[in-house]
Amino acid sequence: MTGSSDILTIALEDVRLYGCHGVMEQERRVGNEFRLDLNVECAAPEGCRTDSVEGTVSYADLYDVAVAEFAVPSALLEHVAHRITDSIERRWPQLTRIEVRIAKLTPPISGFAGTASVRLVRGRNDG
């Protein structure tokens, strides 16, 4: 197609992690279960045509970067999401969009049944 451009989305979904994030002291001491969803976008990389992992953004490498940042305790999930986004952007500057969602599976809210989450989306338009 003339004038078309392919956009690739790479996603990690429903990643279960344990971390010591929270405003309350006990959350930082005992920890909690979390769910991480990560989506990144870029112009279709060479790996789409060559079938070579060296020509793309490896989801295993994305996972390693996200887990390394997630391991650092923070009071706010917003801060964790920001650190993950910054690290990914530094490692893969070709990405045009990064979305990080972190859900605390059992938030310490009396009588609350559900999850609490934050979602950070960073995008850029180079046009």
AA identity, residue 123: G
CA–CA distance, 108 with 46 (Å, rounded to integer): 46
The model's pLDDT over 10-38, given as tens digits with 9 standing for 90+, comes to: 999 999 999 999 998 888 888 999 999 99
User: What is the pTM assigned to this prediction?
Assistant: 0.89
What does the pLDDT read at residue 1?
A: 46
Model confidence at 4: pLDDT above 90: no
42 CB-side CA count, 13 A: 18
- Asked about 104 being catalytic, the answer comes back as yes
Quick one: pLDDT band at residue 54, thresholds 50, 70, 90? Answer: confident
Task: Identify whether the C-beta of residue 19 lies closer than 8 Å to the C-beta of residue 30.
Answer: no
The position carrying tokens 């599976």 is 105
Task: Identify whether the C-beta of residue 19 lies closer than 8 Å to the C-beta of residue 104.
Answer: no
What does the pLDDT read at residue 43?
A: 87
Which residue out of 16, 104, 118, 126 is catalytically annotated?
Answer: 104
State whether CATH 3.30.70.141 applies to domain 10-123.
Answer: no
CA–CA distance, 82 with 118 (Å, rounded to integer): 10
